[in-house]
Structures are given as structure tokens and as C-alpha cells.
Amino acid sequence: MELQHIVYGVSPKLSPAPSIPIGKQLFSLKPHSLLSSSHPSIQSQNFEVLSGAYYPINIAKRGGCYSSRRRVWCSSSRDIADPNEGHEVRTQVTGRRKKLAVFVSGGGSNFKSIHEASKRGSLHGDVIVLVTNKSECGGAEYARNNGIPVILFPKAKDESDGLCPNELVDTLRRLEVDFILLAGYLKLIPVELIRAYERSIFNIHPSLLPAFGGKGHYGMKVHKAVIASGARFSGPTIHYVDEHYDTGRILAQRVVPVLANDTAEELAARVLREEHQLYVEVVEALCEDRIVWRKDGVPLIRSKENPNETY
């Protein structure tokens, strides 16, 4: 099967931009402007800084220190082991804008929030491709209307144009995707993609994980379960994606109240408002390389205003 059959919605307005081949088909992407900025020195803590997709390649020198897996070590901390203890390193934001792939199965309201934030310049990244298991869903329609290529994944019995996992990995790598953002994507992510993009795939879930997560807990089902349990609080969770549903490390959460007379629809609307804000804030941090790791493997976000603070 030729890969050109799975790319949809190319905008003719983008034709002057450089073309990138996928199989025998060419489609155009928006040009990415180069930015240069830097973070102040981190003097109090020692973290591993995530930068882009976690490919199995060696980085000879990055940010003034040597690394084999994109690790940048800062000054010593009691909580994190440092092979270069006492050696202060100044971290820098990568000059180029990050390339984002968003996965959706439905209306894609979080996808739209991220894309709009990119267009207005509040995050240093661009959504360059949309992946969906439903080619006619609202998120796919929005992508086509905005000149964003759409890929169908996984293959379905009634669809002839879908990709298998290895084809999807190859395509995303060819596009040089840095981060994968799940935004209402209801299929389990294949192990091939998780291994290719270690620590670079994120999902948003409409409850405070680990509560009300796992297979079968999605959409309105989650909010009905929260209300039925008597829980007084709920809210969105953004977490890293592993090989199971909703079990990856939690990166960010936001709390909303569950009111005494709430319906599932009212609670869903309240949570969704927070989702739109939280996901954009997290993607901003990703694009600015502000994700750091505690020694115990818990990811934290470094404050943009005060790099010595994490949350």
C-alpha cells in the first residue's frame, strides 16, 4: 500500500512551502521560524531535561555538557544523583519550534486549543500532522480546514487507507515529530510507537488519576462514575503514555469541585474548560524544554518565571 493514500486535506494555500515526501506523495507544511532563547542557570537542583523525542541516538554535546541520551546535569541535589556533582550547567531552549502530532477520535476541542495557541504564538511549536482512527470526525475536519495533513491509524476493516504501527512510526520520524499529544484518542497506543517516542507521548484524561481511569473509562462515562462515587473533586490529568490505559507517570493536574446537584454534563463542561487551559500550559512547557525529572522518576514542570521552582 502506498502511503499517499492516507494523507488528507492538503491546503492549496500552503503550496509555496517546502514539500516533504511520504511514499510517492508530496504535501506541504507551514515553514517553521527559528527562535533563540535561553533559561537562567539552575543552581539548586539537578534534573534530567527532556528535549524532543527520545530517539535511540547519541548526542555528542548538548548545552555545554556531554550526554548519550539527551541528559543535561545541573548542580548537585540531595534528591538526585549527579555524576558531575558541583558542575553548574546553563540550560537553553532549543532554537527551532517543536513539531507536534496530535491524535484524536472525536471533536478535538483540546486539539483546537493547542493549534490556536500555536497560531497566536503562545507556544513554540506547530501541529504538523493529525492522527485519527475516524477519518470523518470533527477533529479531522478541523485539521483539513486548516491545512494540517490527516493520517488514519490504525487500519480498520472498513477502511483501506490506514497505517500499521511500523508505518506510523516511520511516517512520524520522517516528519521529525518531537512530541505526540493524545487529545481524546480512544485507541491503545501500540508498543512500537511508545518505544520509538519514549517520554514523548502525552494524554489528557478527564479525572484525577489514578481514580476513574483505565480501559472503558472515557468521556461521559468518567463523569458519571465520579458523581456516582460521591467524590467532592474532579479535574483533568495530563500523563505520560505507557503500554496500558491511563497508568503512565502524572505530569499535571487541575482540580474542580463536584457540586451536590451536578449532572454528568455540567461536570464535564467544568472539567473541559480546565482541560483546554492545562493542556496548552503543559505543551508550552514541553516546547520550552521545561520538563525535569526527580530521582524517583516523577516528572515536574520548571516554572517559566522562576527556573528554580518546579511544580
Q: Check residue 240 and give its pLDDT.
A: 98
Q: Which of 115, 124, 205, 276 is catalytic?
A: 205
Q: Say if 213 falls within a structural domain.
A: no
Q: Is residue 123 part of a domain?
A: yes
The answer to whether position 210 is within a domain reads: no
Q: CA–CA separation, 180 vs 144, rounded Å?
A: 19
pLDDT on residue 263: 98
124 classed as catalytic:
no
Q: Does 122 fall in a domain?
A: yes
From the list 145, 247, 159, the residue with the least C-alpha distance to 205 is: 247
Write out the residue range of the structural domain in which residue 16 sits: 1-31+97-176
Q: How many domains does the chain have?
A: 1
Q: Sign of the CA dihedral 213, 220, 252, 234? A: negative
Q: Is residue 250 part of a domain?
A: no
Determine, yes or no, domain membership for 271: no
Give the contacts of 273 (CB within 8 A, at least 6 positions apart). none
> What confidence score (pLDDT) does residue 57 get?
25
Q: What is the pLDDT of residue 49?
A: 39
CATH code at position 145: 3.40.50.170
What is the pLDDT, as a whole number, of residue 156? 73
**140 within some domain:** yes
Task: Give me the average pLDDT of each 10-residue run along the chain (311 residues).
Answer: 39 36 35 31 38 31 31 32 37 75 97 97 96 95 97 81 93 98 94 96 98 94 98 98 95 98 98 98 97 95 93 93
Evaluate whether residue 253 is within a structural domain: no
